[in-house]
């Protein structure tokens, strides 16, 4: 089987060394003679994995004092509810930049007063709204920094007069983030940080405990902070792979190194989309994501879509079909994808132009 160029939107490509180390641990966890998926999560060797993983998150992202990192089940989708449970008292504001942002808002509306302060639904979320006001009386303002389906991204840390909460599922660990500007940051691991099965939440601890509602034990962030994400059985497999992914990230130079790699990959692909008359980018140029690159066949060439898909597949290119709500193509350039993968896609676009342009 030839090496595939994987552009899946999530679960994402993961570094080979993380996969290899996981295979070893599945056979024998740290010389215990027991598989990773059969050890007790109360054994000493497991504590070390949890501690290392928390420490790597803090080190790689430069998380300041006063914040804790927790690992939870239920994906980013359950975090939509956690956020509202733990922070919504009087009123919350959301930036509606896509389907995920809307789903987050819906969970808050189920519990109280939550509104979209601005939306880009008028143009199928192909841009990030700007120039809106954030009322000073909100409990929090919620943003989705990277809109996985539409390929738009908020690539700076916004100034907010109220606690800022961000779903960073699909761009976490791709750029330096000023964590101190956020009350909390969360996401599902499977877009850039690890495999499916675990979500991360980075929480400024003094922002908790301000709501009057009853918080079920499992939905109270303080439970998981107090118990170091081991109140109940943690998803050991997913956390192990995430830890191995973070170790890899540190070994290649950390956040600034990966950011430079990610930017170069994205610039390479966007340059080809802008140059090649057969293809057109769908996201507003100033809001283009460095993680998910969305494009369609240019007007007049729409009938070539299926043919290009087949052409790319024959060149070992996998996972570039766009989300059904946007159509066309989406190449996800998460951390473990390489410049070589992007160049294979660009070469396919150029060859296709020669025969069909």
Ligand X SMILES: *Cc1c(COP(=O)(O)O)cnc(C)c1O
Report, as residue numbers or ranges, the catalytic residues. Answer: 100, 167, 191
To ligand X, the closest distance from the beta carbon of 318 in angstroms equals: 18
Residue nearer to ligand X on the CB measure, 82 or 100: 100
String of contacts with ligand X for each residue 113-152, x by CB under 6 A: -------------------------------x---x----
CA dihedral angle for residue 276, residue 282, residue 286, residue 292, rounded to 10 degrees: -90
Residue nearer to ligand X on the CB measure, 10 or 254: 10
Alpha helices, H only, the chain: 16-27, 44-61, 75-87, 99-109, 221-226, 236-251, 254-275, 305-314, 339-356
Q: What is the spatial distance between Cα 341 and Cα 7, in angstroms, rounded to a whole number?
A: 8
Q: Which of 53, 76, 179, 261 binds ligand X (CB under 6 A)?
A: 76
Q: Does 109 bind ligand X (CB under 6 A)?
A: no
Q: Does 169 bind ligand X (CB under 6 A)?
A: yes
Pairing of strands 184-188, 329-332: unpaired
String of contacts with ligand X for each residue 89-108, x by CB under 6 A: -----------x--------
Measured from the Cβ of residue 211, the count of other Cβ atoms closer than 10 Å reads 18
Q: Does 191 bind ligand X (CB under 6 A)?
A: yes
Residue nearer to ligand X on the CB measure, 87 or 308: 87
| HSE toward the beta carbon, residue 268, CA cutoff 13 A | 21
| Interface stretch with ligand X, choices 127-135, 167-175, 205-213, 319-327 (CB under 6 A) | 167-175
To ligand X, the closest distance from the beta carbon of 259 in angstroms equals: 19
| Interface stretch with ligand X, choices 16-24, 166-174, 200-208, 267-275 (CB under 6 A) | 166-174
Alpha helices, H only, 62-98: 75-87
| HSE toward the beta carbon, residue 289, CA cutoff 13 A | 33
Residues 50, 229: contact at Cβ < 8 Å? yes
Q: Does 167 bind ligand X (CB under 6 A)?
A: yes
Q: Which residues bind ligand X (CB under 6 A)?
A: 10, 75-77, 100, 144, 148, 167, 169-170, 188, 191
């Amino acid at each position: 089987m030839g090496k595939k160029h994987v552009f899946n939107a999530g679960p994402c490509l993961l570094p080979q060394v993380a996969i290899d180390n996981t295979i070893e641990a599945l056979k024998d966890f740290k010389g215990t003679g027991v598989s990773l998926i059969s050890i007790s999560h109360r054994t000493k060797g497991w504590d070390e994995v949890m501690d290392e993983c928390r420490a790597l998150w803090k080190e790689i992202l430069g998380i300041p004092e006063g914040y804790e990192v927790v690992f939870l089940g239920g994906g980013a989708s359950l975090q939509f509810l956690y956020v509202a449970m733990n922070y919504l008292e009087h009123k919350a504001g959301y930036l509606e930049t896509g389907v995920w942002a809307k789903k987050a808002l819906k969970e808050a509306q189920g519990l109280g007063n939550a509104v979209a302060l601005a939306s880009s639904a008028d143009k199928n979320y192909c841009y990030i709204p700007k120039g809106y006001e954030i009322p000073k009386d909100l409990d929090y303002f919620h943003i989705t920094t990277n809109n996985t389906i539409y390929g738009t991204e908020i690539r700076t840390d916004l100034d907010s007069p109220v606690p800022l909460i961000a779903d960073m599922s699909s761009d976490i660990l791709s750029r330096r983030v000023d964590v101190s500007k956020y009350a909390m940051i969360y996401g599902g691991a499977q877009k850039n940080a690890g495999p499916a099965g675990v979500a991360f939440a980075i929480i400024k601890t003094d922002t908790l405990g301000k709501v009057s509602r009853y918080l079920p034990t499992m939905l109270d962030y303080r439970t998981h902070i107090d118990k170091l994400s081991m109140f109940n059985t943690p998803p050991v497999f997913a956390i192990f792979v995430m830890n191995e992914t973070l170790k890899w990230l540190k070994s290649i130079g950390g956040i600034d190194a990966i950011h430079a790699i990610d930017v170069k990959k994205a610039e390479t692909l966007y340059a080809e989309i802008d140059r090649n008359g057969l293809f057109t980018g769908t996201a507003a140029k100033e809001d283009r994501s460095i993680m998910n690159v969305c494009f369609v066949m240019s007007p007049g060439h729409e009938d070539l879509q299926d043919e290009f898909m087949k052409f790319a597949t024959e060149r070992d290119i996998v996972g570039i079909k766009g989300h059904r709500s946007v159509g066309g193509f989406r190449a996800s350039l998460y951390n473990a994808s390489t410049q070589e993968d992007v160049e294979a896609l660009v070469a396919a676009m150029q060859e296709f132009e020669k025969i069909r342009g």
